[in-house]
């Protein structure tokens, strides 16, 4: 595979993903209705002492909540099923590539790093495809939907809320820039930890025979501590960014409350509109926090997909992989007459490296033969 990005990964799953995103859009749209119904219940019911309007708003809100629950259930089931199908195909693709690669690849690559591609990296993609992708789409639709509703309800209050956006954009930019490096470093170091663990477990007899336990323990501790420090750096960024977004939401709500109270006293704004506005402010900043949380999974999935892509780009040193032979089709005596074998030259020229020449061999039925060489 010369290129294996997210689009290539999702090829062939467009229809189920489209159906899932329809449920996601319905979920986001129904979530925007509740503040509007609350506003109607306050202005037309509470202020007018009309109990019927309150019951109407409450009944419509109940129907919206039930419909939103149904949409969320459908979207989770659809995206979860589609995500598992995608990962099933990816695991088979990685395994097939591992079968094609020559022994020279396994000599220069640690087994633990190879296992990380099939375990940690695929798990990171699994988390993003099943939860992060849906959450990101819901958050984006909700964010722009609420932005339009805020402008429609009251332009002056919308400008008060939007005054916090430049600060939010700058903070989000620096968070993303720093967190990308932290996640890449963490993914690289967890591969080192897995590789060291696998090598030590596989060679445990040798370690114990030569009394190397203190050395291997010290080396594994150093790798694990290096990974821990890389993860702490990412967690520190999260601990600063999320409270920062919550602070902006509180500042925006306080500013809207101050301006809105004066507007209510002047008679240019209703109480229901102000309450709905405050509810929309919480909904307005919530998608930003959700996107930031999704960004954590997105970064891990991006790094994992890049590492998987690197593995899929690896070219077998023996050229085109031979088709596996059917054992039942080989019957009787097998004869090798003046047989040779050579590795293809590397790209850019060079001579082919001969491994075997002039082999004459006859294998009788029932015999087992092993070719033992440099590779």
Q: Which CATH number does the domain housing residue 78 bear? A: 1.20.1560.10
Residues 333 and 238 in one domain: no
Please count the structural domains in the chain. 2
Residue 355 lies in a domain: yes
Domain holding 335, by residue range, is: 327-363
Reported in sequence order, the residue ranges of the chain that DSSP labels E, i.e. its strands, are 334-343, 353-363
Residues 114 and 147 in one domain: yes
pLDDT band, very low/low/confident/very high, at 337 (cuts 50, 70, 90): very high
Residue 180 lies in a domain: yes
Task: Inform me whether the pLDDT recorded for 344 exceeds 80.
Answer: no
Residues 280 and 340 in one domain: no
Burial class of residue 137 (count of CB atoms within 10 Å of its CB; 0-12, 13-18, 19+): buried
The full DSSP string for 281-303 is: HHHHHHHHHHHHHHHHHHHHHHH
Rounded to the nearest integer, the mean pLDDT of the chain is 79
What's the pLDDT score for residue 348?
63
Least-confidence region, from 95-109, 141-155, 259-273, 312-326: 312-326
Residue 156 lies in a domain: yes
Tell me which DSSP letter residue 327 carries. Answer: G
**CA–CA gap between residue 295 and residue 178 (Å, rounded):** 12
Mean pLDDT of 252-271: 78
Residues 196 and 345 in one domain: no
Residue 33 lies in a domain: yes
Residue 290 lies in a domain: yes
Residues 294 and 346 in one domain: no
Tens of pLDDT along 152-199?
A: 777 777 888 888 888 888 887 888 778 777 777 877 787 788 778 878
**CA–CA gap between residue 155 and residue 253 (Å, rounded):** 15
Tokens 């602070």 — which residue? 247
pLDDT band, very low/low/confident/very high, at 43 (cuts 50, 70, 90): low
What's the pLDDT score for residue 321?
45
Residues 122 and 52 in one domain: yes
Task: Inform me whether the pLDDT recorded for 326 exceeds 60.
Answer: no
Residues 161 and 129 in one domain: yes
Contact 16, 320 (CB under 8 A): no
Residues 333 and 305 in one domain: no
Residues 6+ apart with CB under 8 A from 151: 158
How far CA 340 is from CA of 231, 355, 360, in Å, comes to 52, 8, 10
The more confident residue out of 138 and 250 is 250
**CA–CA gap between residue 53 and residue 45 (Å, rounded):** 5
Residues 176 and 130 in one domain: yes
Residue 321 lies in a domain: no
What's the pLDDT score for residue 292?
67
Residue 126 lies in a domain: yes
């Amino acid at each position: 595979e010369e290129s294996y990005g997210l689009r290539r990964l999702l090829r062939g799953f467009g229809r189920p993903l489209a159906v899932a995103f329809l449920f996601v859009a319905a979920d986001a749209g129904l979530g925007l209705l509740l503040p509007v119904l609350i506003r109607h219940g306050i202005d037309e019911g509470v202020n007018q002492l009309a109990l019927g309007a309150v019951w109407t708003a409450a009944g419509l809100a109940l129907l919206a909540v039930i419909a939103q629950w149904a949409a969320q259930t459908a979207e989770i089931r659809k995206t979860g099923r589609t995500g598992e199908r995608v990962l099933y195909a990816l695991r088979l693709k990685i395994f097939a590539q591992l079968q094609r690669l020559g022994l020279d690849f396994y000599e220069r690559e640690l087994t633990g790093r190879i296992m990380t591609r099939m375990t940690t990296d695929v798990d990171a993609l699994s988390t993003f495809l099943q939860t992060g992708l849906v959450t990101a789409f819901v958050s984006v639709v909700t964010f722009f939907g609420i932005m339009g509703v805020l402008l429609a309800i009251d332009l002056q209050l919308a400008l008060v809320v939007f005054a916090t956006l430049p600060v939010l954009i700058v903070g989000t930019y620096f968070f993303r820039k720093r967190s990308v490096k932290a996640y890449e470093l963490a993914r690289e170091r967890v591969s080192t930890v897995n590789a060291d663990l696998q090598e030590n477990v596989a060679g445990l007899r040798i370690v114990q025979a030569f009394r190397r336990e203190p050395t291997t323990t010290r080396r594994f501790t150093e790798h694990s501590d290096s990974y821990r420090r890389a993860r702490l750096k990412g967690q520190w960024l999260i601990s600063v960014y999320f409270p920062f977004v919550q602070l902006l939401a509180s500042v925006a709500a306080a500013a809207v409350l101050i301006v809105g109270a004066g507007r209510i006293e002047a008679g240019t704004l209703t109480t229901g509109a102000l309450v709905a506005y405050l509810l929309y402010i919480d909904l307005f900043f919530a998608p930003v926090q959700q996107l930031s949380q999704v960004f954590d999974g997105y970064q891990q999935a991006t790094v994992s997909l890049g590492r998987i892509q690197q593995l899929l780009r690896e070219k077998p040193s023996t050229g085109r992989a031979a088709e596996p032979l059917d054992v039942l089709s080989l019957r009787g005596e097998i004869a090798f007459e003046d047989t040779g074998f050579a590795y293809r030259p590397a790209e850019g020229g060079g001579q082919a490296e001969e491994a075997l020449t002039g082999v004459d061999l006859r294998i009788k039925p029932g015999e087992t033969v092993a070719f033992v060489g440099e590779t």
